[in-house]
Structure 1
Amino acid sequence: MKIRKVGIKDINKLREIGKLTFAETFSSDNSEENMNEYLENGFSTEKLKAELTDKNAEFYFAELDEKVIGYLKVNVGESQTEIKAKNALEIERIYVLKEFHGKKVGQILYDKALELAQEKDVENVWLGVWEENPRAIRFYEKNGFVLFEKHVFKLGNDEQTDIMMKLEMNKKKPAANTV
């Protein structure tokens, strides 16, 4: 498996994997009408083009044998969906095809997000996760995230509660000068 940065030339693959993984994850718990509205608006070519050309947003594909099996989206600065800290990185999306759940793909994408956070020297990493998604909540708790707030996420006309979680990045202090 390899992780690679997504470029504008990948927009159709991004739209496809985005819609498919979101639908796999949330269709059974939401109305068809709300899902269709979100999928068309949230993964429109115009929206994805704007996100792909935003200097403060980055997408990465997880690929296996040239097939996209998952993806990551991170945001910094003004591109964060909500500004909760001035020096932070938001993990907006980590989605993996259902057939690859339990195969460490999500963990590898998560590790890539932390690598980016270290490169960007941020103080914390944060994200929102649907309160009805215990698998994801457990994953983030296992990785050291803690609840710090809640917010409303609109899926079509349905207002849902996202749990906001964050991870403080450990800053390495320079060694004391012993001269």
Structure 2
Amino acid sequence: MANIEVRKITLIDINQLQKIGRQTFQETFSESNSEQNMKNYLEEVFSKEKMTAELNDENSEFYFATLENEVIGYLKINFGESQTELKDSKSLEIERIYVSKEFHGKSVGQLLYDKAIDIAKQKDAEYVWLGVWEENPRAINFYRKNGFVEFDKHIFKLGDDEQTDIMMKLKLSN
């Protein structure tokens, strides 16, 4: 595989972030959700306002995976108060790792994941955690393979549909 680069992104990348965000979410979940719920979710989560706020949040970071300047995946991590739950100062949350469908199975997700773990170690986090949809076996297996264990569940609402996320964590030995 040619050189895939991982780089931190800023506000000037917002259009590309919206694009890859919508595209990968759609690819991953459209078959399992109603069109209306998907449409509303994508409009809300990837709106200019929400993305701008997230990119300006000092407790969140986004990274692109690029191949020859084409964005093929992205990572979003949160610390401190910006974590979606837990909000433990000793933890880092991987909120999103998404890779374009055509690049599945080419270690792009692993590169983004490794980046998140590096940052967690730099920040002296004691553990990394995340939520993954219970009906997404690819993702669950990926995290298990990387040493994550399940510790809880929570409800994720996509429109009027309540879905169960499995919460997983990985203890870091610094």
Q: State if a TM-score over 0.5 links the two structures.
A: yes
- Residue in structure 2 matching 1:69, options 62, 69, 72: 72
Structure 2: segments with no counterpart, 5+ residues: none
Aligned to 2:97: 94
Structure 1: segments with no counterpart, 5+ residues: 172-179
The size of the alignment, in residue pairs, is 171
- The answer to whether residue 91 in structure 2 is matched with residue 82 in structure 1 is no
* Inter-partner Cα distance in structure 2 for 1:101 and 1:42: 23
Aligned to 1:118: 121
Q: TM-score, normalised by structure 2?
A: 0.97
1:126-164 Cα offsets, whole Å, 9 max, x none, are 000000000100000000000000000010110100000
Deviation, structure 1 residue 83: 1.8
* Inter-partner Cα distance in structure 2 for 1:109 and 1:53: 21
Aligned to 2:149: 146
* Inter-partner Cα distance in structure 1 for 2:87 and 2:150: 13
Aligned to 2:106: 103
SS in 1 for 2:89: coil
Aligned to 1:7: 10
1:27-38 aligned at under 5 Å gives the runs 27-38=30-41
- Residue in structure 2 matching 1:54, options 43, 57, 74: 57
- Residue in structure 2 matching 1:161, options 161, 164, 170: 164
Deviation, structure 1 residue 86: 3.2
1:11-63 Cα offsets, whole Å, 9 max, x none, are 00000000000000000011101100100001101000000000000000000
Q: Report the aligned-residue RMSD.
A: 0.7
Deviation, structure 1 residue 84: 5.4
- Tell whether the 8 Å contact from 2:80 to 2:88 is kept in structure 1 after alignment: no
- Residue in structure 1 matching 2:45, options 37, 42, 46: 42
- The answer to whether residue 143 in structure 2 is matched with residue 135 in structure 1 is no
* Inter-partner Cα distance in structure 1 for 2:19 and 2:88: 32
* Inter-partner Cα distance in structure 2 for 1:112 and 1:11: 20
Q: TM-score, normalised by structure 1?
A: 0.94
Consecutive aligned runs of 4 or more in structure 1 exceeding 2 Å deviation: none
> Structure 1: which amino acid aligns with 2:22?
K
